[in-house]
Amino acid sequence: MLTVSGIDRPGVTARLFSALADGAPVVEVLDVEQVVVHGHLVLGVVVGSLAVDDVAPADEGSLLAHLGRLATEVAAATGMTVEVESASIPEPVAAPAGRPHHVIVLGRPVPPDAVAGAAHAIAGIGGNIDAIRRLSDYPVTSFELTVSGAEATALRTALASVAAATGADIAVEQVGLARRSKRLIVLDVDSTLVRGEVIDELAARAGRAAEVARITAAAMNGELDFAESLRARVAVLEGLPVEVLDEVREALVLTPGARTLIRTLQRLGFRCGIVSGGFTQITDPLAEALGLDFAAANTLEVVDGKLTGGLVGEIVDRPGKARALARFAEQYGIPLEQTVAVGDGANDLDMLNTAGLGIAFNAKPFVREQAHTALNQPYLDAVLQVLGFTRDEVVDAGT
């Protein structure tokens, strides 16, 4: 085994392999791994002596001596450190139980104790970290650990306590083609795609802000039936002029990273849309402005230019959100396992668990505990790292 390390520069790999190809004994390449960490190259190459024209392969001593001379030459030519050691052929081992998983550690910053805690937790349930790579350094720092030998539920449980103790986000996804086969994403609107709750803003204009905010908080925490709480909150809007809806819509502030997330996924071929317990008078223009493919929400009743305090049509509540996700997936011919849902409230839970991947975004504890994974970063485009996209891929998609 030859290990090359030092400041990365062009031509190092070419110089090493050219030296291996030139001369006797003839060798074959058995394994190669190369990584560049913050400009520092580490290249490992395992070679073996090859029999040629009825000439037996070189013995270990002769091969090591040859590679030692070669390493000295390559080191002198490249300015790198080149080490040589004997590499025994590993004994076959039984495949680890369970499918491999990706563990994504995110933070701004990522504290060392988050990585240490994750590593200890993985080892504690019999898992092994096979590889680590950085996914992004902006707007959050994120690392992806490839883990074998650990069952998904045990892995999520063990890592949840690490996330709680360190403040980092830690997501778990199964390795495989399904991860990169996602093709549709559904976003909740209030406190997910946009900051704040639209119903609270409307209630403030009706002079009932505190009352409605209490109902909203209880509903999002799963303490009240959503449909019942929605009717109660909408009732206090009776008499408001319809122009208030325009005022609230124009004052909406998108969550940081929202445009980047949508733009990137659209350029990668995703269908993107919103499913909201809010109101079509707000969400439809928002969907049009963002160029979304679909939208579903409740509709406020308006008579003679004023809100009546009632709703029109079917209510998009907790089960209604899941039905909307399924409807849009069917419309575009996309299996549910290839969908992603992102939300923060209890009324999002059915949708999150119906999707192939449900992400609780800055969610209430009740929701975080039941979703597939959770993000507590202030940036919505951190969803891209959970999906396995690197920062470079995001930048490429935006150009």
Of 46, 28, 51, the closest CA to residue 84 belongs to: 46
Sign of CA dihedral 232, 233, 234, 235: positive
Q: Please tell me which residue in 8, 53, 169, 188 is annotated as part of the active site.
A: 188
Task: Please check whether residue 335 is in contact with residue 295, taking contact to mean a CB–CB distance below 8 angstroms.
Answer: no
Q: Which helix (H) or strand (E) holds 17?
A: helix 12-21
Q: Kindly report the backbone phi and psi dihedral angles of residue 25, in degrees, each rounded to the nearest multiple of 5, phi listed first.
A: -75, 155
User: Is 225 labeled as catalytic in the residue annotation?
Assistant: no
Task: Please check whether residue 358 is in contact with residue 351, taking contact to mean a CB–CB distance below 8 angstroms.
Answer: yes
Q: Please tell me which residue in 169, 190, 200, 350 is annotated as part of the active site.
A: 190
Q: What is the DSSP string of 89-154?
A: PPPP-PPPSS--EEEEEEESS--HHHHHHHHHHHHHTT-EEEEEEEEESSSSEEEEEEEES--HHH
Beta partners for 340? Answer: 185, 357
Beta partners for 190? Answer: 194
User: Is 54 labeled as catalytic in the residue annotation?
Assistant: no
Cβ within 8 Å of residue 366, ≥6 positions away: 221, 222, 346
Whole-number Å distance between alpha carbons of 170 and 168? 6
Task: Please check whether residue 189 is in contact with residue 270, taking contact to mean a CB–CB distance below 8 angstroms.
Answer: no
Whole-number Å distance between alpha carbons of 229 and 279? 14
Catalytic residues: 188, 190
